[in-house]
Chain A
Amino acid sequence: MSNTPEPSNLPTSTSGPSEHDGSGEGSASVLLSLRGISKNFGAVQAIQNVNLDVVDGQVTALIGDNGAGKSVLIKTISGIWAPSSGHIYWKGEEIHVHTPRNATDLGIATVYQDLALCDNLDIVQNMYLGREETKFSMLDEIKMELATNQLLKDLSVSTVKSVRQLVASLSGGQRQAIAVARAVMRDSQLVILDEPTAALGVSQTAQVLQLIRTLSSRGITVLVISHNLNDVFTVADRIAVMHLGTLCSSGPASNYDTASAVELITTGHSSRVPPSLLTSS
């Protein structure tokens, strides 16, 4: 891991932007830092030596072609898979995320592409899965139902008939809303969204994008994976581009346009972005 910076060089919650930033945002603090993260499955190198800073309170979009390693990277952050090598820093402190529970305990919530919902459970049961409220060692269904109703009302999720509906009976947009609401209700500091607008209609996409902005305005950091560059440029404060398992560029969204993003996604290089935003792996 020759490219891995020493921990002493890492941006912390009070330090300036990362070495690849080039934005001049001296006041930005970093919530999550990845240094030299690699993950291989046997002989297959899924991601290699990824260095990424996720800035606190901002929306970072992670973009890349199919197979670029985006989902592997977020599953590594989320504790689904342990990294083969590299370091993860949370607010400047090195952390070891071995299980999804470790990640959620830190305040990292992930909404997976397949939403990771249990179809045979209802909305309340899914919302509280793994964090059930209990009373005398028994599930406190009333408390959970009331809280779920309130949260969905706050989120203006008004299209579900009942919170006791099975998730299997929900539409794609409703399922997305439930998955995001579940991430929000756990007081997460970082919400990772994997393709949140895939397979959604126009109005549902707009709602999800609005939801992302709202999360950010409330101080919640968002890391969003998307194929849709329109969505990315609508909501992202920062952009990180992956190509063939490596992070080829990252920086403020204002430094990119659609053409440069496409060029980076397809080739891993672009002459249209400042050289300081390009990462040599």
Chain B
Amino acid sequence: MSIIVDPVQESSFEKPDRSQLWYRRLLANQQFLLLLVTIAIFVFFAFNRHVFASAGEFGNNVTNFCTLVLLGVGETYVIATGGIDLSVGSTVSLSGVVGAIAMEHLAMHSELLVLSVGTVVCIGIGILVGVVNSALIHYARLVPFVATLVTWGAGAGMCLVLTGGAPIGQNSGAIALTVPKIWIFSYPALIIIAITFVAGLFLHLSRFGRFTFAVGSNAFAARAVGINVKRQVTSVYVLSGALAGITGMFVYMRLGSGAPTAGTGQELIAIAAVVIGGARLTGGSARLSGTVIAAWMITIVSSGLIFMNVSPNYNQVAVALLIATAATAQALRKSARQSS
């Protein structure tokens, strides 16, 4: 439809603003800066402890990274809608424990069948937690923080009830699968990296991802154009739960057992990765690449501190400093934009 309102002015928007040089735009990109900082941190640790740059240590870091990145991916989706998911840590534990119980019952069968069933059970538990989160938000009218706090507590409690506090199972075959087979990657790690890549494409290049950002930006506007906001939010919490379930299975394979405290505290590290990666906790803005880089940064900082003989207790302090730095940088960039 061609509608001429005032055919007097030549449009200027067709000519994109090229006044900013490419390197200035690059330096204004938070994800690029994050990548530079991550490389600098890596170089610092590698310079001080040469073994930090070895393939073996890289492999360890990839494995550690895989226990965090999918939680960060799910949390990115949730935070993009303006919500938060505190339940992912306990979902990792609960799915691992329930999966371990299921696998214990199938111990006489082939390893492939056992692990396949275990994976399905873990993902199923994650989806169930996501559905409960969504139901609490939409039907009990709880804010996401409280809703997921409820499931976080319930999940952690259920783990202790089911296990009595002790890990379940002893599956050395599963542990063997998490040993790197292709250079620094184990097969499960490759699957997790592939899922992360697909999730990134899905978030930034699909209608589902666009709807996710729209809901977080302005839920009324999203509804006004016909987006089913409830369904979108439900899908995102279910996705986050499912990814936590996959992480639960990966942690089970790594430990060879379902540990009731396997995911303790992981939710906060996942949220930290999302925040450091440049997402706004108010919703509507997030970059999965930022979350992935931040997850890698947190992984190598934790690992590097151990190599530097720093007490592991300082890990949380280091992560807290990273969050503070990222949040401050974000606030400064925002105020600079507003004043310009």
Q: Which of B193-240 contact A (CB under 8 A)?
A: 201, 205-207, 210-211, 213-214, 216-218, 220-227
Q: How far is the CA of A153 from the CA of B6 in the complex (A)?
A: 10
A99-B226, A154-B3 known; A138+B205 contact, CB < 8 A = yes
Any B CB within 8 A of the CB of A256: no
Any A CB within 8 A of the CB of B112: no
In the complex, what residues of B have CB within 8 A of residue A153's CB? 11, 14
CB distance from B201 to the nearest CB of A (A): 8
Give the interface residue-count category, chain B: 35 or more
Check if B218 sits within 8 Å of A119, measured CB to CB. yes
A101-B226, A162-B17 known; A211+B5 contact, CB < 8 A = yes
Check if B10 sits within 8 Å of A158, measured CB to CB. yes
Q: How far is the CA of A166 from the CA of B87 in the complex (A)?
A: 33
Check if B12 sits within 8 Å of A120, measured CB to CB. no
In the complex, what residues of B have CB within 8 A of residue A214's CB? 3-5
Check if A116 sits within 8 Å of B14, measured CB to CB. no
Any B CB within 8 A of the CB of A190: no
In the complex, what residues of A have CB within 8 A of residue B211's CB? 130
Any A CB within 8 A of the CB of B110: no
Q: Which of A59-115 contact B (CB under 8 A)?
A: 78, 80, 99-101, 104, 110, 112, 114
Any A CB within 8 A of the CB of B285: yes
Q: How far is the CA of A4 from the CA of B52 in the complex (A)?
A: 80
Give the tally of cross-chain contacts (CB within 8 A).
126
Q: How far is the CA of A139 from the CA of B202 in the complex (A)?
A: 10
Check if A129 sits within 8 Å of B221, measured CB to CB. yes
Q: CB < 8 Å: which of B4, B225, B227 contacts A156? A: B4
Q: How far is the CA of A12 from the CA of B9 in the complex (A)?
A: 41
Q: How far is the CA of A137 from the CA of B206 in the complex (A)?
A: 7
Check if B206 sits within 8 Å of A138, measured CB to CB. yes
Any A CB within 8 A of the CB of B2: yes
Check if B3 sits within 8 Å of A118, measured CB to CB. no
Closest 9 CB pairs of A and B: A101-B226, A130-B225, A120-B284, A118-B217, A116-B221, A120-B217, A158-B9, A116-B224, A153-B11
Interface contacts beyond A116-B218, A152-B11: sample of 19 additional A-B pairs, CB < 8 Å, sorted by A: A80-B224, A119-B284, A120-B213, A120-B283, A120-B285, A121-B214, A132-B210, A134-B207, A137-B206, A149-B11, A149-B14, A156-B11, A158-B13, A162-B13, A187-B1, A207-B6, A210-B5, A214-B4, A215-B3
Q: Which residues of B contact A (CB under 8 A)?
A: 1-14, 16-17, 201, 205-207, 210-211, 213-214, 216-218, 220-227, 280, 283-285
Can you offer 18 A-B residue contacts whose CB atoms are under 8 A?
Answer: A80-B223, A112-B220, A116-B220, A116-B221, A118-B217, A118-B218, A118-B222, A120-B213, A129-B210, A132-B207, A139-B207, A149-B14, A156-B6, A158-B10, A162-B13, A185-B1, A210-B5, A218-B3
Q: Which residues of A contact B (CB under 8 A)?
A: 78, 80, 99-101, 104, 110, 112, 114, 116-121, 125, 129-132, 134, 137-139, 149, 151-164, 184-185, 187, 207, 210-211, 214-215, 218
